Amino acid sequence: MDEMVVDAKDLRKIYKMGEMEVHALRGLDIQIRRGEVLSIMGPSGSGKSTLMNMLGCLDRPTSGEYHLDGESVAEMNDDQLADIRNRKVGFVFQSFNLLPRATAISNVELPLRYANMGGRERRERAIAALESVGLGDRVHHTPAELSGGQQQRVAIARALVNTPAIIMADEPTGNLDSTSGEEIMQLLLNLNQENRTTLIIVTHDPEVAELTNRVVMIRDGVVVEDRS
């Protein structure tokens, strides 16, 4: 359990907006062990979305070090970032981000297509991922034929299908009613228990944060509180 899957030191991110410089991250440090469940919280403009983009390899820091699952990420070019993102990161977004005309199984197969996996293995892994989130009987349904909670389950299956080092969930219950939201959180926590999947949840909801083992508070681009 002691293995660091996320090791980020002195992360800084500066955005240029015309003549202005916006310092979104100001020397932030964060370490996350394999199998941890933590939430990242902070007010609007605190830097939590920027941090999520860094940890999820959607963007690179202006300076600082970041190792994801032992690989140094901070200096990678766009192609290398895309590759490590596809291998090591599963994303779950508030808005589900599913392809509207594609079936559940096609949506879940997407990361495996990027990885050039063969058709039969891809299909088997996608079905197994959908079964693991309780949607084995919905593999051929499109998003329009599924409830919000079911769509989020498809998104979770897609995030899991590559057996990533981390799952980044950005307000995963934000578009769901409270019952569906509770079910989705329980599902994510169960998957963590079963697979030791490292789960990083960006949220503003204290009830969601309460369900995680560790809460990291960010303000003005640095960690101001880290409690377990």
Amino acid at 121: E
pLDDT of residue 145: 96
Asked if the model's pLDDT at residue 58 lies above 50, the reply is yes
Say what the pTM is: 0.90
The pLDDT of residue 175: 87
- pLDDT, residue 151, reads 94
Give the whole-angstrom CA distance, residue 18 versus residue 69. 36
What confidence tens digit (pLDDT) does each residue in 182-216 have? 999 998 999 899 888 899 999 988 999 999 999 99
Domains of the chain: 4-227 (3.40.50.300)
Q: What is the pLDDT of residues 144-170, one digit of tens each?
A: 999 999 999 999 999 999 889 999 999
Tell me the C-alpha to C-alpha distance, in Å, between residue 31 and each of 34, 51, 65, 101, 197.
10, 13, 12, 39, 16
pLDDT of the residue at 130? 95
- 37 vs 40, 42, 193, 206, 210, CA distance in Å? 10, 17, 10, 15, 11
Q: What is the DSSP string of 140-192?
A: T--GGGS-HHHHHHHHHHHHHTT--SEEEEESTTTTS-HHHHHHHHHHHHHHH
What gap in Å lies between CA 114 and CA 111, rounded to an integer? 5
Task: Judge whether 142 and 103 are in contact, CB under 8 Å.
Answer: yes
Q: In this model, does residue 23 exceed pLDDT 50?
A: yes
Question: 225: which strand partners?
Answer: 217
Average pLDDT over residues 66-76: 92
Count of helix runs (H) and strand runs (E) in the chain:
7, 10
Average model confidence (pLDDT) across the chain:
92
